Amino acid sequence: MNGKAEKDYSQYFQPPSLADAKKRGKEEIQVHYEFEIPPEMRGLGEGKFYMIRTYGCQMNEHDTETMKGMLEMMGYRATEDKQQADVILLNTCAIRENAEDKVFGELGHLKALKAERPSLVLGVCGCMSQEESVVQRISQKHPFVDLIFGTHNIHRLPQLLQEAFFSKEMVVEVWSKEGDIIENLPKKREGMRAWVNIMYGCDKFCTYCIVPYTRGKERSRRPQDVLAEVRDLARRGFQEITLLGQNVNAYGKDFEDLDYTFGDLMDDISKIDVPRIRFTTSHPRDFDDRLIEVLSRKGNLMEHIHLPVQSGSTEVLKRMSRKYTRERYLELVGKIKRAIPDAILTTDIIVGFPGETEEQFEETLSLVREVQFDSAFTFIYSPREGTPAASMEDNVPAEVKRDRLRRLNDVMAELSRQSNERMQGQVVDVLVEGESKNNPDVLSARTRTNKLVHFRGSRELIGRIVDVKITETQTWLVKGELVEQPEGAKQAI
């Protein structure tokens, strides 16, 4: 495992090309149901331990669940002790530069451990792995890494691990047939909540985003496969299921043989006996009337909608290639609020995008106030190599970006506080997730609208849905008192 030679890894990559990527065809999508771990690899991990560090979004978390499932079928057991681990995988994110910095910082820390224990298999996987510059950097600056693989190659983990054990070179597999959908992959899920991928990839090509290149084209799982997975999770007692996709409400648009949309899928899932159904992340351009109509029936469909806007300026949205205007976004918000008056909206916003003027930033602040978002993920723009925006002049000074982020966050804090104050005295049903991080005598829970609630109660309530009366409100959470424990509430699994 030592002394790996430097190598040119460019053969593994198709560099990001907007023109080429937009030509991606639908005919290449295939669904494979025959996945299995070869019998000779099922004992490869007997008596050994693995550790996975996950960075980034829920999609990465879900990929980690899949890798854990495969590793445990191979005989490995989980550990949080780096000294005990025989395999360490860093499952990475490529959305923002600081995510990459964290990964390279962690690799620096692991260098000494690898020198002490040469038999340790150290791997980097996920979205970062599918950027050629990242793989070249790892090969040159961190040659002690044994294994690099991408999001399209997760199902090949057993074979790649076996190869890494015996290879004298870094094992790299980062580009495969991105149109494939691999069903029946094992997953290790823990707790009362589960994530279900319903589609992969993205075809929107926002100018700042690397995801369409790292995750590939949009491809939807067949409805019967998604519904079967959700039914199985319901039988196993999961209390909350979140449907995942880079652009979740584009689901079904790639089907050539079926007229079946995300609204249809949500309608069918709403009839399955799971207490709570959520989804993320949606694109305003694909949020149609059918979906709004289905969500308005509520039931086990939560009235929390994450609807990334990114900017309140039509001009900036155009440079971002978001394919909607400020007016179109506000029209959509109006439709949602008329159909679901108690819906809570959250969003994503980027400040300091190339060319953003003070007036255009003020348009973002005014839109935030008009929509009354409950919370937002807010970011300072940073260029990602290979995206169209990276070639734009990054002409907003750093101190201006920081000031705009501060002003935006101040507005968001005020809106969140006002929203929470409106809950004072209300009785709400919450899913109890566990103990508070700061006080083991306090339980942490979430409302249907995804608000954080703290209240005192027995650990036996974890995994149950209970009623809580709100007695105190703060900016980012509310506090309450247990009202009653419903008869027959489901236990955590």
What three-state secondary structure class fits 97? helix
Three-state SS annotation for 308-352? CCECCCHHHHHHHCCCCCHHHHHHHHHHHHHHCCCCEEEEEEEEC
Written as tens digits, the pLDDT of the chain (493 aa) is 444 445 554 444 444 444 555 555 545 678 878 888 888 888 889 999 999 999 878 888 999 999 999 999 999 999 999 999 999 999 988 766 677 788 889 999 999 999 999 999 999 998 888 777 788 888 889 999 999 998 888 999 999 999 998 887 888 887 655 567 888 898 999 889 999 999 988 989 999 998 888 778 889 999 999 999 999 999 999 999 999 998 999 999 999 899 999 999 999 999 999 999 999 989 999 999 999 999 999 999 999 999 999 999 999 999 999 999 999 999 999 999 999 999 999 999 999 999 999 999 999 999 999 999 999 999 999 898 889 999 999 999 999 999 999 999 999 999 999 999 999 999 999 999 999 988 888 999 999 999 999 999 999 999 999 999 999 999 999 999 999 654 544 433 3
Order of strands across the sheet with 240-244?
Answer: 193-197, 240-244, 276-280
Residue 416's CB is within 10 A of a number of other CB atoms, namely 21
| 419-424, long-range: CB < 8 A, 24+ apart | 419/344, 419/372, 419/374, 420/451, 420/473, 420/474, 420/475, 420/477, 420/478, 421/473, 423/451, 423/470, 423/473, 423/478, 424/470, 424/471, 424/473
Q: Which domains are assigned to the chain?
A: 20-180 (3.40.50.2300), 187-421 (3.80.30.20), 427-484 (2.40.50.140)
Residue written as tokens 């002409």?
395
Question: Buried (b) or exposed (e) across 435-458, using 16+ Cβ within 10 A?
Answer: ebeeeeeebbbbbbbbbbbbbebe
Task: Quote the strand ranges of 257-314, DSSP E.
Answer: 276-280, 304-306
Residue pair 282/305 in contact (Cβ under 8 Å)? The answer is yes
CA 301, 306, 310: angle at the middle one, nearest 5? 165
Q: How distant, in Å, are the alpha carbons of 200, 207, 353, 472 from that of 317?
A: 24, 10, 10, 39
Residue written as tokens 């995206």?
387
**Residue 17: CB partners within 8 Å, gap ≥ 6?**
none
Residue type, 265: L
